[in-house]
Amino acid sequence: MDDHLQKKVDAQNEKGTKNVIKTWSRRSMIVPDMIGHTIAVHDGRKHVPVFVTEAMIGHKLGEFAPTRTFRSHVKEDRRSRR
């Protein structure tokens, strides 16, 4: 976990607050100190809010903020090919 993010989480744990923490650090691993916090992870254009639960421990923050949006393939009209 990156130091700057750890400092922000520790500061909120000491105060007892649960404000949204903005971060660009998608590589940071989720640790038990983060449980119950909402962390806004950058996906390349906006920050995606991620509420941290126990099941997420050990994963990276970037796994929960997808960077690509898949728009389904356009269905072909068979009549137009004839």
Q: Where along the chain do its domains lie?
A: 3-64
End-to-end C-alpha distance for the chain, whole angstroms: 58
What per-residue confidence (pLDDT) applies to 10?
97
Q: What are the residues facing 38 on neighbouring strands?
A: 51
pLDDT in tens, 10-49: 999 999 999 999 999 999 999 999 999 999 999 999 999 9
Give the per-residue pLDDT at 81.
64
Q: 3-64 — its CATH code? A: 3.30.860.10
> Is the pLDDT assigned to residue 63 strictly greater than 70?
yes
Q: What residue has token string 């929960």?
A: 64
Main-chain phi, psi angles of 39, to 5 degrees: -120, 125
Residue type, 17: T
pLDDT for the residue numbered 82 = 61
Query: Measured between alpha carbons, how far is residue 56 from residues 16, 28, 80 in Å?
Result: 21, 12, 49
Tell me, yes or no, if the pTM score tops 0.75. yes
What pLDDT, on a 0 to 100 scale, did the predictor assign at position 22? 98
